[in-house]
Amino acid sequence: GAGVSQSPSNKVTEKGKDVELRCDPISGHTALYWYRQSLGQGLEFLIYFQGNSAPDKSGLPSDRFSAERTGGSVSTLTIQRTQQEDSAVYLCASSLVGTGGNQPQHFGDGTRLSIL
């Protein structure tokens, strides 16, 4: 595809349920990132993947949050036992990895998660 694809676009679930959010990065992008954007706020870093490895998970808010990436492509962010404070837009981005440092990160449309 031409851009980063995320699914579902919207997810409404009851408190205590588990949810899975999916990200399909731009073809050829080996770096993948998850961010969270609460209403009217900036973007908060969650986790970074280089290939299938996650060198930096420092932004995950609690052990209810986990993420994996398989085949160096699709990534899944899982939130277990959801709480109301988990309600937010979850954004995925991908980039090339270059020897010159940061490469531009390209974002998907996000998944709007609402916990009732």
Partner 1 sequence: GENVEQHPSTLSVQEGDSAVIKCTYSDSASNYFPWYKQELGKRPQLIIDIRSNVGEKKDQRIAVTLNKTAKHFSLHITETQPEDSAVYFCAASINSYKLIFGSGTRLLVRP
Give the integer Cα–Cα distance in Å for 52 and 40: 32
Residue 22 near partner 1 by CB under 8 A: no
Question: Which span sits near partner 1 by CB under 8 A: 12-20, 61-69, 79-87, 101-109?
Answer: 101-109
Site map (CB under 8 A) of partner 1, residues 56-75, x = contact: x-------------------
Q: Tell the smallest beta-carbon distance from residue 41 to partner 1 (Å).
A: 6
Say which residues have a Cβ less than 8 Å from residue 102's Cβ, sequence separation at least 6: 95
Give the integer Cα–Cα distance in Å for 30 and 112: 25
Give the integer Cα–Cα distance in Å for 4 and 18: 24
The footprint of partner 1 (CB under 8 A) covers 4, 31, 33, 35, 40-45, 48, 50, 56, 91, 95, 97, 101-102, 104-110
